[in-house]
Structure 1
Amino acid sequence: MEDYLNQEEVSSKRLAHGDIIDGVVVRVDPDEVLVDVGSKSEGVISSRELGTREAGTPDLQSGDRIKVFVLQPENEDGNVVLSLRRARAESVWIKAQEKQVTGDLMEAEVREQNKGGLIVNVLGLRGFLPTSQVSRSYSANLQELVGQRIGVKILEVNRKRNRLIVSQKAAYDEDRARQRSELFERLKVGDEVRGKVSGLTSYGAFVNLGAADGLIHISELSWDRVANVGDVLQVGQEVGVKVIKLDPDMSRISLSLRQLGQDPWDHIEKRFPPGAVIEGEVTKTKKYGAFLQIGDGIEGLLHISELSWDHVERTEDVVQVGQRLRVKVLLADRPRRRISLSLKQVDEPGFRPPVDDAEAHDYPGEIERQPEHEPVLAEVSAAPPEG
């Protein structure tokens, strides 16, 4: 009884062009398909309205439940003219609208290039991918994408104008963000990973780790002093690096190249014990002294007060960059990573007479005193005769 009432309700409803309704296949003929749509007469689907070029003609059987599109509520024979092809196309447009709302990633096949971008096939619909929405990796050469399947997000759906706009960039950025999140969950400080150098700057090198780029600061390139990043790495070079810091909130990964090797400051006190005389090359000069490279990744400070026994006004008056010197190790401090050197103590100072007179301390420049003598007394016995 309930089914009869439902059927009466459908029968009483006036059909209109554009309606999408449910139906049941009654008979399949070579040139048409009869469908029961609950109206007074059966609906008819002509052969040309069965399928699409992309999807082909469906294999229908009596009793199949299908959705159909009303082309004409009633023709001259009193039948409802229906289209399975249009119903399926409309269903795809509805699905496209749903995907736009949910923001789901979709797969698209790139069909061709035009002056504004790329023509794509999404869900069987013809869509447009503007050049501005192409991923940065391909924006310079769109032709490379023709024939490929790519991930996109639907930006706009306009059924009346048959307009479907998609974005590869939005899909790429979202997928990149997901992969980046997974990368930060997987990485740990101390991990050794491999990547490709993606860029060089004055302060370091960026290394692509797949889902994100990490930075090797110039100070982490080598234990030796590095003046130019390009002297150590080149763009496109495959490198092994060590993770030394992770900041998921800022999406930053700090890497090190030098820490893959042994720290040259290990056992520094044994390598450079106090009193040892060694050779080094002046790498830079400052107001307060000069730095010498005395080993791989090891620099020591030659303070201006240790340049000479004499007063030194300017460091450059005694040493120059590139000059090799013999110096004495005064102190090797591993925790502070400092080595103190002396040039003047390599050779003992010249003889300097001791000054015991307390008065001499008031005049540091006066270090020699004339000896004092006892007075000589003489007795005068007679005056010389006057001429």
Structure 2
Amino acid sequence: MPRRMAMLRKSKDERLFDRTFRGRGGLWGDGVSGTMGSQFLHLCRTLAPDIYVNFINDRSFNAVAALANRRELIGINIGSFELVHNCFFNLLSRRDCLHEIGDGNAESSEILPTDFENPTVRRPNDPVRAKAAIDLAFCALVILYMHERSHIELCHIAFLKEQFGVAEYCEMQIASQLGTRPWLCRTLEKDADVSGAVTSARFWKCWYNSVNLTHLEPLGWARSWIIAAQMLFWIMELVHPPRNDQVVLGHSAPHFRLVSVMDAVSKYAEIPSALTEQELQHDKLIPWIATQCSALQRPFLMITDDAIAQQTHSLNATYRSIADRLEELQDARAKQKGTTIDRPGYPGSGWARPFKEIWK
């Protein structure tokens, strides 16, 4: 069917989405990617009806938030959806990973790296482990969605449009648009990381307790969320440019971002009280990530505590310089939509500023 005829059959939001992200590939197919994709999109649209979410026809790992015709949009690359699932299928296909789920002995002892070019990968042999992989991937994608949603609800896009004329927030491209302002980009990323992580953790706790996820019972809601978050941030380590390019782009190392996220959820999402130190250490995905880096001939780097402290100090200073204007924009958005900014914050009800004290 010619593109014009196909677009006439789509909704107003779908047509706007396709036009807005046409330079990135446009709307993916019919807007869905099987049952899992449809369920994920339905959840996102239910959680925030004012924000239209769909998949972009791009096989790379990325997501973007945008303002177009006064409509707030989130586009998630179909490649992100597929890669997150593939990584968890790969992880649960290893006998030595999360062996308490299902029958780990049914899996292969052979260690295979994830193929980041070919979406077809080995799936777990044990059906329980296969289901667990799907739900862990779902959790990771919720974290990604909440991150992009934070860019909108924290008014990062409104701020950038006002200050620099930028109407889209795409993490790996925004820094090049802002030129010599890498710390601003990193600061906005941390802001979205923190709010997105805490909000997704609170959501996941409710979701886990209301949906029958028996195959994740050996982990529980907190451990499963942490594993999903670790996977999401370490995927960034595998698909983003080498570290020296990240500095130019104003992109903080995934390890630093993960440290910031874990600090936030420990304070605002009750995760540490639900886990023992032994469980936290057991669930670290570092051995799996090291295998992937080796296969890609990529150095596996961990940043030092001193570097973390230095980056945190710089980001805090940058945030304080823009905080007042961000809050004014957040109040204006809430007034326009007839919502309120709750404190200490609740998912989906104006949770823009409950974590400001993190920046002190």
| Bucket of the pairwise TM-score, normalised by the shorter protein | under 0.3
Q: TM-score, normalised by structure 2?
A: 0.19
Instruction: Compare the two structures and name the one with the higher strand fraction.
Output: 1
Which of these two proteins has the greater Rg computed from alpha carbons?
1
Q: TM-score, normalised by structure 1?
A: 0.18
Considering Cα pairs closer than 8 Å and 6+ residues apart, tell me whether 1 or 2 has the greater RCO.
2
